[in-house]
Chain A
Amino acid sequence: MDNEVLNTEPQPTEEVRVVMPLVDILDGDDGVTIYFEVPGANSKTVDIEVKNRIMTISAASSLRRDGLPVVFKRNFRLSDGADIENITAKTQDGVLTLNIPKSERAKVHKIQVQ
C-alpha cells in the first residue's frame, strides 16, 4: 500500500498540465464534504473513481497553462468509515462538491447510562 501512496502524486505529462486542486474538507455527523476548486471543469469533464479505497478525482478544465490543457487531479484514501457506495457529487461555478457519508459503524452512537 505504501508504494501505491508514493505513486499517487500528480505527475506532469506531455499532453496535459496536471494541477492539484485546492480543497476544503468539512466533517459532520453524517459524513465528510470535500469542496474542490476546479475552475473550467463541469459535470461532463469530472471523473471520480474509487479503487481499493483510493479515491481519484480528475477534472479536465478549459484552462490552459504553458500551452497545455489543465487537468486537476488529487487522490484520497478512504477509511472503512466511509460509505463508498453512497458518495454523491455535483459541480457548480468551478467547484466540485463531494459528499462522502459515514458508514453505520463510523457514526456516533449515543449509549444511555441506566
Chain B
Amino acid sequence: MNMLARIRNAEELLPSTLGGLHELFRSMLDQVTDLGPEWLPEGSAAGRALTVETSEKEVTVKLPLPGCESKNIDVEVIGDQLTIHAARTEVKDENDKRHYIRRERSFMDYQESVLLPVKVRGHEAKASYVDGILTVTLPRENPGSPDSHVVKVD
C-alpha cells in the first residue's frame, strides 16, 4: 500500500474489518501524512514563475530557483534575449540510506529564455541570488523612452 495514501482515501478503500490493521500500519509507517489537496493547485506553479517588470530606467527579471547555489546559475544576455540556466544537486546522494516517500521537487536542471520587452544594455546587467530567488537587473538602452509608438494613418 502506498505510504502516502491519504487517510481519508485509505479509510474509504479498506473494509471496516480491516480498520484496525490499517491503523496499525499507519502508526508504524506514516510518521507524516500530507493534508494538502489531492491536486497541486495552480498556486504551486506560481512559486516558480518568471516575472518581468519594466521601469523607466531598467528591466527586472525575477525567477524563483529554490535550493540552488549561485555558482550553479548561469545568466546570459544576447541582444534582447535573456537565458537562465540553473542546476540543483540532489538532496540524497548514493550513500544516503534514506528513501523518498514523496518527491514533488522535480527540477534538477532548468533552463528558460525570455525575450525582453525593451532594448537593454546586456553588458551592464547585474544578478543576485537571495533566499532562492534569482533577480536580474538590466539597464534600458534608452531610459525613459516609451514602449509604444503612435503610427499615424494617412
**Which residues in chain B, 38-86, are within 8 Å of chain A measured between CB atoms?**
40-41, 43-44, 46-49, 62, 64-69
Min CB gap B129→A, angstroms: 8
Mask: chain A, 31-49; 1 = CB below 8 Å from B; 0 = not: 1111101111110000000
Min CB gap A93→B, angstroms: 5
Closest 5 CB pairs of A and B: A94-B132, A94-B66, A39-B64, A28-B98, A19-B43
Q: A19 to B32, Cβ gap below 8 A? A: no
Q: A39 to B101, Cβ gap below 8 A? A: no
Give the nearest-CB partner of B33 in chain A.
A77
Rounded to whole angstroms, the CA-CA distance of A79 and B27 in the bound complex is 6
Min CB gap A14→B, angstroms: 15
Q: A10 to B32, Cβ gap below 8 A? A: no
Give the nearest-CB partner of B102 in chain A.
A25
Given known A-B contacts A10-B41, A39-B48, A93-B132, A20 and B100 have beta carbons under 8 A apart = no
B residues less than 8 Å from A62 (CB atoms)? 131, 133
- Extra 19 A-B pairs, beta carbons < 8 Å, given A10-B41, A35-B91, A42-B131: A8-B36, A10-B37, A17-B43, A17-B46, A18-B43, A21-B47, A25-B100, A26-B100, A27-B98, A28-B98, A31-B31, A39-B65, A74-B36, A75-B35, A76-B33, A76-B34, A77-B35, A93-B132, A95-B67
